[in-house]
Structure 1
């Protein structure tokens, strides 16, 4: 398969994992609402515990894969990270979501297991996460606001970059499921490698 096919597979994986990420965020929101509103204490605890399991086993791996494939598409195509307002907006929102999800929401959700009810901020946070993902989907479709800056068109990465963009997150998801917690190590290595490769290529003036 050629570069075009693997690039399309990367886009497909990005769309699938992004939809999955939003779906799991909505599932967390639903479970946390149940945990706050149910009159049955056992249901409240069970709902929070299930939300924690979904966050660890499903949402986090999908979020990592979605962010990684999005970053790779920016780093491996002419879109770049800072050439178009809609891409820059998606990039900034994704960074905020990853920070909030990893360092704020996941920790708060873990601490809420076994207690009742979960804090309101946690419920609001999951709703905001799903809303932000829906807004990013609109950005991808509408591509509003034009260019941040013009310049030489960025080169498209070679085929192996997009092969790695597809295989790395799938490998990380499989490893994470075996370990019982998300481990996007290979994705980080691939992304850093592509960023360095593109930077060196731009400095040297070489294509692809």
Structure 2
């Protein structure tokens, strides 16, 4: 049979357990907020954002130049001009493109890690990051190794040789990259899809 003393003790234990649970929940929430707290100050965040926009804009511009040079090489009736276009493409385009891509990637990582947007809290940030990494890697592993052959083809065309069939595939890299960069820009503006599952906290930062 329960006595008033036993009931009081049980009530005290229940209250203590509830208090411990609340304290643990508050501590976990405080830890989450501390981890989500941005370490980029507003001034630095704006500076990094400007660099990010400039890098992405330069990347898009270089891809457009890439496409224009390919079209000139394909369509020009002047063999000298066509050959010069391919030589310029193979010599001058890829290094600035990779630089712009790395600037875009590095500043994007800083903005993600240094603000409450994070890298894996929102789907649009994560997808944009994956696209940027994939395109930067493709420049190194798929595009850059072929540039010496493009230069050699340009020299041969300028000397009067017929264009090689492999040059007809050169339009695909800028076409794919421009589509991907346009999609990434749209993601940055529209910010669709919401949070990733398991991502807590509320974002206060604005890009």
Fold equivalence (TM over 0.5): yes
Q: Is the 8 A contact 1:24 1:54 kept in 2?
A: no
- Structure whose alpha-carbon radius of gyration is higher: 2
Equivalent residue for 2:105? 67
Q: 1:60 to 1:154 in 2, by over 3 A?
A: farther
Q: Distance in 1 between matches of 2:105 and 2:192?
A: 20
Equivalent residue for 1:37? 75
What residue ranges of structure 1 are gaps of 5+ in the alignment? 157-208
Equivalent residue for 1:5? 43
Q: Distance in 1 between matches of 2:84 and 2:202?
A: 50
CA RMSD of aligned residues (A): 2.2
Q: Distance in 2 between matches of 1:154 and 1:73?
A: 16
Equivalent residue for 1:97? 135
TM, length-normalised to structure 1: 0.68
Q: Secondary structure at the match of 1:16?
A: helix
Q: Distance in 2 between matches of 1:72 and 1:120?
A: 38
1:47 to 85, 88, 112: 85
TM, length-normalised to structure 2: 0.68
What residue ranges of structure 2 are gaps of 5+ in the alignment? 1-39, 154-162
Q: Distance in 2 between matches of 1:50 and 1:153?
A: 50
State the Cα distance separating 1:107 from its structure 2 match: 1.8
State the Cα distance separating 1:41 from its structure 2 match: 2.0
Q: 1:72 to 1:131 in 2, by over 3 A?
A: same
